[in-house]
Structure 1
Amino acid sequence: MMNWFSKLFKQNAKEQTTPMKKFLIVGLGNIGAEYVNTRHNIGFKIVDFFAKKEGVSFQTAKLGEIAEYSVKGRKLILLKPNTYMNLSGKAIKFWMEKENIEKENIIVITDDLNLSFGTIRIKTKGSDGGHNGLKNTQLLLNSSEYPRFRFGISDQFKKGQQVDYVLGEWDEQEKAKLPERLEIAAEIIKSFALAGLNETMNIYNGK
């Protein structure tokens, strides 16, 4: 009886001292009230939605806003860089190094003009696709091999109007569909930490 109790006590103590596995969940966007509801800020919108859903709050920290959420032995650090989109990599690199998080345990959430509205594409690696946030991240991490979660915003703009379109606000049809897409995006974040990247891609890509 005592031997059994002793083993149980040691097992519980070991579980309590095992460090939590960390994940960095990065939503890309631009700071400022004028950008809040723009297509380019879908990364911010997704991590904001996740944080609200799980009852955690963002706090201002170095190079961004940070919120922490723990689930089943995993610690998710949500990051919204305050460096503006073009220097997103600076914040990502800082928090990866500060929290000692490997590249495979980060996921960068961004908008994608090459995907129809709301389409989800999760990848283990890839090019920057012309996205300045990913371009700077690749430059500072010296690698294109890190997970990314692309959210389609479509390319329904006339020639020469790309910047206005990306920095424009969602139209009424998009606004109506966003809540359902945000719910799925929140599921993806949790699945990434709990089930892993490959399983998450199998379940959610193309949804």
Structure 2
Amino acid sequence: MQEHLLIVGLGNPGEKYALTRHNIGFIILDRFVQCHHLSWEIEKKSQALCARLESDHSSVFCLKPQTFMNCSGESVAAFCKYHTIHHILVIHDDLDLCLGAVRFKLGGSSGGHNGLKSIDSMYGNEYLRMRCGIGKPPISEHKPKEQCVIEYVLGNFSPKECETLETLCAYGVQALDFFVKNPAVNALQNTFNTKQVQNL
């Protein structure tokens, strides 16, 4: 029996946010869709952009919620209501990992990530996460820590960071291709959990 997989990239819609650190989920999933020559289509019921990949092993849905980050769960829950899904992988930014680091994790807490919080509240937390490091923001004694974090995640990658981002995107596509063939968390962790992709 062919399995149905769902890969969700988290981010905010619109050109304003296209190259921000918070949009790393969108960025990597866009690259995956591009590499497989797929196209995005509007999925009105789930308020998302959707692309579909058919393989020998599975039918893969790629989803970019257009609800803005803090309401990502509304899109994911709506999509799963109308489609039978066996495995979900969510790609998101992670402040606790250095830029270029990748970790795969099944379930657990949101770690304060509002996109994950939204999915957890609408769908539950038993899904696979691809945590993509963006590093910690510089803290200013003249601003509250929360404001520093918001400005950092909604800021664009610097030109120097974009070099690492390019390597991370290529690595992310490899990992997603692996997930399509083998969605087992242990296999993904053993093969793709890294300290920093630029060191491979």
- TM-score normalised per structure 2: 0.89
Instruction: Kindly indicate which of the two structures has a greater share of residues assigned to helix.
Output: 1
1:118 is the counterpart of 2:100: yes
CA contact (8 A) 2:57 2:180 kept: no
1:97 is the counterpart of 2:81: yes
Aligned residues: 186
1:76 is the counterpart of 2:60: yes
1:162 is the counterpart of 2:156: no
1:198 is the counterpart of 2:186: yes
1:47 is the counterpart of 2:34: no
- 1:87 matched residue in structure 2: 71
Separation in structure 1 between the aligned mates of residue 126 and residue 61 of structure 2, nearest angstrom: 20
| Contiguous gaps of at least 5 residues in structure 2 | none
Of residues 154, 174, 192 in structure 2, which corresponds to 1:187? 174
Separation in structure 2 between the aligned mates of residue 55 and residue 150 of structure 1, nearest angstrom: 25
- 1:3 matched residue in structure 2: none
Runs of 4+ off more than 3 Å: none
- 1:8 matched residue in structure 2: none
Tell me the percent identity. Answer: 35
1:149 is the counterpart of 2:130: yes
Q: What amino acid does structure 1 have at the position aligned with 2:37?
A: G
- 1:27 matched residue in structure 2: 9
SS at match of 2:180: helix
Of residues 172, 183, 186 in structure 1, which corresponds to 2:159? 172
Separation in structure 2 between the aligned mates of residue 133 and residue 178 of structure 1, nearest angstrom: 21
Separation in structure 2 between the aligned mates of residue 66 and residue 156 of structure 1, nearest angstrom: 32
Q: What amino acid does structure 2 have at the position aligned with 1:179?
A: E
Q: Deviations over 1:77-124 (max 9, x none)?
A: 00000000001001111112211113xx00111000010001001101
| Contiguous gaps of at least 5 residues in structure 1 | 1-17
